[in-house]
Amino acid sequence: MARKMKTMDGNQAAAHASYAYTEVAAIYPITPSSVMPEHVDEWATEGRKNIFGQTVQVTEMQSEAGAAGAVHGSLAAGALTTTFTASQGLLLMIPNLYKVAGEQLPGVFNVSARALASHALSIFGDHSDVYACRQTGAAMLCESSVQEVMDLTPVAHCAALEGKLPFINFFDGFRTSHEIQKIETWDYESLSRAAPSALSSLPLPSPCCTRTSSTLPTTSSPLPRPRLLPTSPRCAALTLLWPPVLPT
């Protein structure tokens, strides 16, 4: 199928591709990434469906630290979760990045890379925010054009599932995030075919998660306390792809 040509900036391209693979988006705005959660929130309000036939649940937290905590909890509960941030906002997510990576949870952190504020506020573009996360254990994928953002953001989501690791999917703030180009876009039918086979071949979940104290579908050990766990067929397949490491 021929891909449609559309005019958009890097933020919209990342939001378009991420929406397809996202069930929950925990957000907090920060320049220059704010456009991504704005698009996701707008599309969710309009009722746009992801590749699972669901509308993304968007939750705005009180800070980037809260958004990262919500991402961690949502992933542990079995929902595919995404957030969007930059600069100091990404630094506030570092403590939870260690947990998400250590527990092998496939979240995606979309970052419009921007200089860190030191002696004064800076909105210039550089990679100092992303480089500060190298030791967290998260995988990183970088794009240098709007077309690459459209093409590689789905790779970040699928690779996170297959590799059992969170991904920091980043591109230059302003230089790419706000650059407007005419690019080839992916429709959600094509992105669905690109999803890991264990996800795309199963019925859609409804609802995705429920509170239970039973065991995980792929383990025999009981849980230490009641938790939100994946119980739908799709979430069960997700657990096969990335069994969370439960606290003792």
Crossing angle of helices 146-163 and 233-241, in 10° steps, is 90
- The pLDDT value recorded for residue 199 is 67
Per-residue confidence (pLDDT) for residue 235, from 0 to 100: 46
Query: Is the separation of the CB atoms in 41 and 15 below 8 Å?
Result: no
What DSSP string describes 27-67?
Answer: E---TTTTHHHHHHHHHHHHT-B-TTS-B-EEEE-SSHHHH
pLDDT at 197: 66
Instruction: Report d(CA 19, CA 43) in Å as an integer.
Output: 9
Q: Provide Rg for the chain, Cα atoms.
A: 17
Amino acid at 218: T
* CA–CA distance, 40 with 45 (Å, rounded to integer): 9
Q: How many whole angstroms separate alpha carbon 119 and alpha carbon 195?
A: 44
CA distances from 187 to 36, 159, 178 (A): 18, 19, 22
Question: Helical H runs in 78-176?
Answer: 87-92, 94-102, 128-131, 146-163
The residue behind tokens 């504020």 is: 117
Residue by residue, pLDDT tens for the chain (248 residues) are 689 999 999 999 999 999 999 999 999 999 999 999 999 999 999 999 999 999 999 999 999 999 999 999 999 999 999 999 999 999 999 999 999 999 999 999 999 999 998 877 888 889 999 999 999 999 999 999 999 999 999 999 999 999 999 999 999 999 999 999 999 999 999 999 888 764 643 434 434 443 333 323 333 333 232 233 343 434 444 444 444 444 44
Copy the structure tokens of residue 137: 């254990």
Q: Which phi and psi (to 5°) does residue 79 adopt?
A: -100, 140
Q: Output the six-digit token pair for 8.
A: 């958009």
141 contacts 168 by C-beta, under 8 angstroms: yes
Give dist(CA 128, CA 135) in Å, integer: 13
For 119, residues 6+ apart whose C-beta sits below 8 A from its C-beta are none
Question: Which pLDDT score, from 0 to 100, does residue 22 have?
Answer: 97
Q: Specify which residues 184 forms β-bridges with.
A: 5
